[in-house]
Amino acid sequence: MDGLEIAHRRLHNQHLSAAPLADPVAVVRHFGAMQAQEYAVAKWSVAQRTSGCDDAAMQRAVDEGAILRTHALRPTWHFIAAVDIAWIQALTGPRVHVFNAYYNRQHGLDDGLAAKATVVITEALRGGNHHTRRELGEELGRAGIEATGNRLAYIIMRAELDGLIANGPMRGKQHTYALISERAPDALTLEPDEALAELTRRYFVSHGPATVKDFSWWSSLTVSQTKRGLDLAGSTLAHEVVDGRTYWFAPADPPKREPSPAVHVLQGYDEYFVAYTESRHVVNVAGLPVGTSNENLLIHPIVLDSQMIGFWRRVVDRGGITAEPTLAIKLTAGQRRAVDAAFARFADFAGVPVTVSWSQSGRAGAVGRDGKYPPGLISGR
């Protein structure tokens, strides 16, 4: 096994190159959790791993509560299946509190204040009520708890990590919150060792081959917890040393690779990129210059045959979406057609026309003219 094979195995295990999973919930459960920081494109990460799922179908899954969006793990926004929300937050939430401790102290958020806030939030949301962050802040303020700005954000995050609240349905363009006890009444509960073994297994099955440090960073669990999780997972996982690093994965022969050229246009926080720290380099074994001079600019990767060859910017306007690619290689005609097909699939998901503006491309550029892809081109809808 080498770096390129690791990348192809990940592409397969993440169901970008393997057969699509049954539905969005199956996708999220396969991963355990999927980063959902940029909500509009985070839905694309889930949908492109199943079939027949567009943006509207993803939104229904979130609005109906089959998939929840909440702060978890590092911490940042994640999608978690409703059935898994309780045990994942119970396992990882205490570790995330450790990371948040400094900011909680800065905002005077101790256990006593959190307990008072829990009572207020519970009463405000009880009975199927769904409130926005601002509305929860007003409820807390009426109870004598100062809750504005970052202080409100950390009060609400504390409630999320404690397994009290997650998202409710969208209200127009606004996100709301709901009680998990009402939103996910059938959520599973697991004993601590069961939860540790399950999250460890899910990560390495879906993200592997990956290292202990990769999983520890992704989950916020300690290295000691990760090693115990591997012990508990037992023979369900295998490992191999590559270039001095030990990679863990589900035992399997190397997957059959997609016919080349195979292109995937991903979002900036897709699990194929964001879920690793020690071994992220395997998606760019050639060391291509694919970053930007502005580290704060969110870029969306373009992947060719498991390797990142560039990125694209997403610009939303009244006529649809414009995708502006920047490439580190010059495409062949066949590779260009594969990129076009990938953006056509994205248009099918988005339900609006997607225009690929090659005139904005930088570096090595690309061949051919700009393309405009109407929704339904791939699915026939």
Q: Rounded to 5 degrees, what are φ and ψ at 176?
A: -120, 170
Q: How high is the pLDDT of residue 377?
A: 55
For residue 291, pLDDT over 80 is answered with: no
Cα 174 → chain centroid:
20
Confidence of residue 292 (pLDDT cuts 50, 70, 90): low
Q: How high is the pLDDT of residue 2?
A: 97
For residue 26, pLDDT over 90 is answered with: yes
Instruction: State the sign of the Cα–Cα–Cα–Cα dihedral 135, 140, 146, 149.
Output: negative
For residue 379, pLDDT over 60 is answered with: no
Q: How high is the pLDDT of residue 380?
A: 45
Prediction pTM value: 0.94
Looking at the chain, the whole-number percentage of residues with pLDDT higher than 90 is: 90
Q: How high is the pLDDT of residue 298?
A: 72
Q: How high is the pLDDT of residue 375?
A: 80
Q: How high is the pLDDT of residue 299?
A: 83
User: What domains, with CATH codes, occur in the chain?
Assistant: 41-183 (1.10.10.10), 286-373 (no CATH)
Using CA atoms, how far apart are residues 6 and 231, in angstroms rounded to an integer?
22
The pLDDT of 159-171, averaged and rounded, is 97
- Measured at the CA of 312, the angle between CA 306 and CA 314, to 5 degrees, comes to 135
Mean pLDDT of the chain: 94
Q: How high is the pLDDT of residue 293?
A: 61
Helices (H), the chain: 3-13, 24-31, 39-47, 55-63, 85-106, 111-125, 133-142, 149-161, 180-183, 192-207, 212-219, 223-233, 271-274, 333-350
The pLDDT of 334-361, averaged and rounded, is 90
Q: How high is the pLDDT of residue 365?
A: 42
**pLDDT, tens digit, for every residue of 190-226?**
999 999 999 999 999 999 999 999 999 999 999 999 9
How many Cα atoms are found within 13 Å in the side-chain-facing hemisphere of 367?
9
Please spell the DSSP secondary structure of 89-100, one letter per residue.
HHHHHHHHHHHH
For residue 141, pLDDT over 70 is answered with: yes
Amino acid symbol at 148? T
**pLDDT, tens digit, for every residue of 84-132?**
999 999 999 999 999 999 999 999 999 999 999 999 999 999 999 999 9
Q: How high is the pLDDT of residue 370?
A: 66
For residue 371, pLDDT over 90 is answered with: no
For residue 51, pLDDT over 50 is answered with: yes
Looking at the chain, the whole-number percentage of residues with pLDDT higher than 70 is: 93
Please spell the DSSP secondary structure of 273-333, one letter per residue.
HHT-SSSGGGGGTT------S-TTS--EEEEETTEEEEEEEEEEETTEEEEEEEESSPPPH
Q: How high is the pLDDT of residue 297?
A: 65
Neighbours of 64 (CB within 10 A): 11
